[in-house]
Amino acid sequence: MSEQTFEQMLEASLKTIHNGEVVEGTVIDVKPDEIILNIGYKSDGIITRNEYSNTPNLDLTSCVNVGDTMEAKVLKVNDGDGQVLLTYKRLAADKGNKRLEEAFNNEEVLKATVAQILEGGLSVVVEESRVFIPASLVSDSYEKDLSKYLGQEIEFVITEFNPRRRRIIGDRKRLLMAERMKKQKELFEKIHPGDVVDGVVKNVTDFGVFVDLGGADGLLHISEISWGRVENPKKVFKPGQELKVLIKDISETKIALSLKFAESNPWNDAENKYSIGTVVTGKVARMTDFGAFVELEPGIDALLHVSQISKEHIEKPSDVLKVGDEVTARIVDFKPEDKKISLSVKAMLEPEKSEEEEVKTEDDAEYASVDIEAEIEKTGAEAETESDNSESEE
């Protein structure tokens, strides 16, 4: 048998390794961007920062110390510089994949920190295995900006597990929907029409406000925001604002809300404030061909018929008045049961007649017969239809 050189004997005493093999080694040097391992091979093993963790700019000196023992997987037996290229994160990912597969099969709820905000969703890391959560599965409502989730710990379930195609999909929306359904059931069991409850403004539209009641959203329609007029809800409310609201109606899963509390109804003492003969001042709120509606206070409008605007004949109210004009007139009719008040400027210009002498003209009869409440509610009814259409689209 031929004699072996010292180098040959040394090489023979060292183990052989192959790509993909898991090896164990001792840390002999560590730098911020790489770890050197003695793996009992003729060459040392090296783990770069990118092959240690998915965390960017991680300082490896804060993760391992000289003398530590660790496992790694062989990527290349010779990286071109005579060293063995190792990976720690891929070995950890293999273990992580097994963990995710178990969670997928058992429909287990996982918890992890959001590592990245991607164009189409979120990326979380579970034991060095990446899980992608599409934007459509992040929340139970549409969210345009996902940046708030960066660094946040969230819960999710695995709905697709295919590591060979690098498709591991998470779903947070399912958990939120399940929790919401639970809260919704609890909410509908305890609320009734007429209840006053606390809520938080969730969304504001042109036709009203959606209020989160803690399990379900209720609609505060523009016509129910105030006894008076509200031109644009967006000028009054903002998301996150806390409200105390009245439950007006419940229909299946739809909840109609109101801020028109009975105790604040301006018609409660209107009979005392607006008796016939009283002179009042208000602003023109709306114009029609037959007259102008004058707001005496929020929630109380009175009709100034075209025949009562002036002693002279007027074809249309808009010939002499416009919205916002201040008008002083006398109350000539008040029907509290119908919530109707009629005004006359002309009566201010004429001597008051006695009850025996007072005879209503044909024009007077015409304006007195106008359904003021129906005219006032007309705009609200049109907006109600618009909101129902918008809800069905949702």
Q: What CATH code would you report for 266-352+364-372? A: 2.40.50.140
Query: Distance (Å, rounded) from C-alpha 291 to C-alpha 304?
Result: 6
18 within 8 A of 76, measured Cβ to Cβ: no
Query: Distance (Å, rounded) from C-alpha 55 to C-alpha 277?
Result: 81
Q: What is the pLDDT of residue 165?
A: 86
Which residue shows structure tokens 């009203």?
208
Q: Residue-wise pLDDT tens for the chain (394 aa)?
A: 445 565 655 555 556 788 888 899 999 999 999 999 999 888 899 999 999 987 778 899 999 999 999 999 999 887 677 789 999 988 888 888 889 999 999 999 999 999 999 989 999 988 878 899 999 999 988 888 999 999 999 999 999 999 888 899 999 999 999 998 999 999 999 999 999 999 999 999 999 999 999 889 999 999 999 988 888 999 999 999 999 999 999 998 899 999 999 998 999 989 889 999 999 999 999 999 999 999 999 889 999 999 999 888 888 999 999 999 999 999 999 998 889 999 999 988 866 555 554 444 444 444 444 555 454 455 444 444 444 544 444 4
CATH fold match for the domains 192-262 and 266-352+364-372:
yes
Q: What is the pLDDT of residue 155?
A: 96
Q: What is the pLDDT of residue 363?
A: 47
Right CATH number for 192-262 from 2.40.50.140, 1.10.1740.10, 3.10.580.10, 3.10.20.30? 2.40.50.140
87 Cβ contact partners less than 8 Å away, ≥ 6 residues apart: 47, 51, 72, 73, 75
Any idea where the domains of the chain sit in the sequence?
6-87, 107-176, 192-262, 266-352+364-372
Q: Which of 234, 99, 209 is nearest to 161 (CA)?
A: 99
What fold is seen in the domain 107-176?
OB fold (Dihydrolipoamide Acetyltransferase, E2P) (2.40.50)
Q: Which of 10, 8, 16 is nearest to 78 (CA)?
A: 16
Residue type at 293? F
For 361, which DSSP code? -
What fold is seen in the domain 6-87?
OB fold (Dihydrolipoamide Acetyltransferase, E2P) (2.40.50)
Query: Distance (Å, rounded) from C-alpha 133 to C-alpha 72?
Result: 28
Q: What is the DSSP string of 177-204?
A: HHHHHHHHHHHHHH--TT-EEEEEEEEE
Q: What is the pLDDT of residue 11?
A: 56
CA distances from 198 to 34, 247, 259 (A): 56, 10, 12
